[in-house]
Amino acid sequence: MGCEGIWLAVAKYILADLVRVRTLRKDRVERELVAAKERLAEAERQVPIREKELEDYRNWVDSEINRLYTEIIRKSVHKAAVDDLTYAVRALRAKEPEYVKRVQDAKEDVKKAQDLLEEKKVERIQAQRNLEKLDAHREEWMVEQAKLEEFLSDKELEESFRPKGVGEAELEKTFI
């Protein structure tokens, strides 16, 4: 057996390192896809929570305003007390935009999470395609390697049956 046969026995796929890198990338993208799905699910859970907080705050403000007005109505009050009431009502309503912003932020988070999820799906498809291309190349390479190994084996077999000291040219004259 010549040195070519030994080389073929230990030859590894020429793009094996690239396959490993692409496999690692595909695995990373799949993990990121799972994380994006989880992020979207969490963002979607936050929207109703934030909406409920806003609704609860509005209900609390309304009940607090009613309580304050009821207090004022039961007493004879001075103008300063009415001014204090007006100030208290404005202060209560001043926090409402914070709650509205939280709801909007939660909805924006859902949109961002959806966009990220779509991006990761595209990345996963691309990573899968890249790996499939290499798999197809590896299969072609393996067929070529098998043909080369068969050729070298046939050549080695021919050489073993050739009479010693006879060159190629002399061997061809013998068969002609």
Residue 164 phi/psi, 5° resolution?
-65, 140
Q: How far apart are the C-alpha atoms of 2 and 153, rounded to whole Å?
A: 9
| Residue 6, pLDDT score | 40
Q: Where are the alpha helices (DSSP H) in 75-167?
A: 79-94, 96-161
Q: Tell me what pLDDT residue 67 has.
A: 85
pLDDT tens digits along 147-164: 888 888 888 877 777 666
d(CA 75, CA 95): 28
What single-letter DSSP state applies at residue 1?
A: -
pLDDT the model gives residue 3: 45
Calculate the average pLDDT of the chain.
Answer: 84
Give pLDDT, residue 5. 45
Reported as a pLDDT band with limits 50, 70 and 90, residue 90 is confident
Query: How large a percentage of the chain has pLDDT more than 70?
Result: 84
Q: Would the pLDDT of 172 be above 70?
A: no
Q: What is the pLDDT of residue 165?
A: 59
The pLDDT of residue 52 = 96
pLDDT at 75: 74
CA 44 – CA 38 distance, rounded (Å): 10
Q: Which of 14-28, 68-82, 103-117, 125-139 has the highest mean pLDDT?
A: 103-117
What are 100-133's pLDDT values in tens digits? 999 999 999 999 999 999 999 999 999 999 999 9
Picking from 40-44, 45-49, 114-118, 140-144, which range would have the lowest pLDDT averaged per residue?
Answer: 140-144
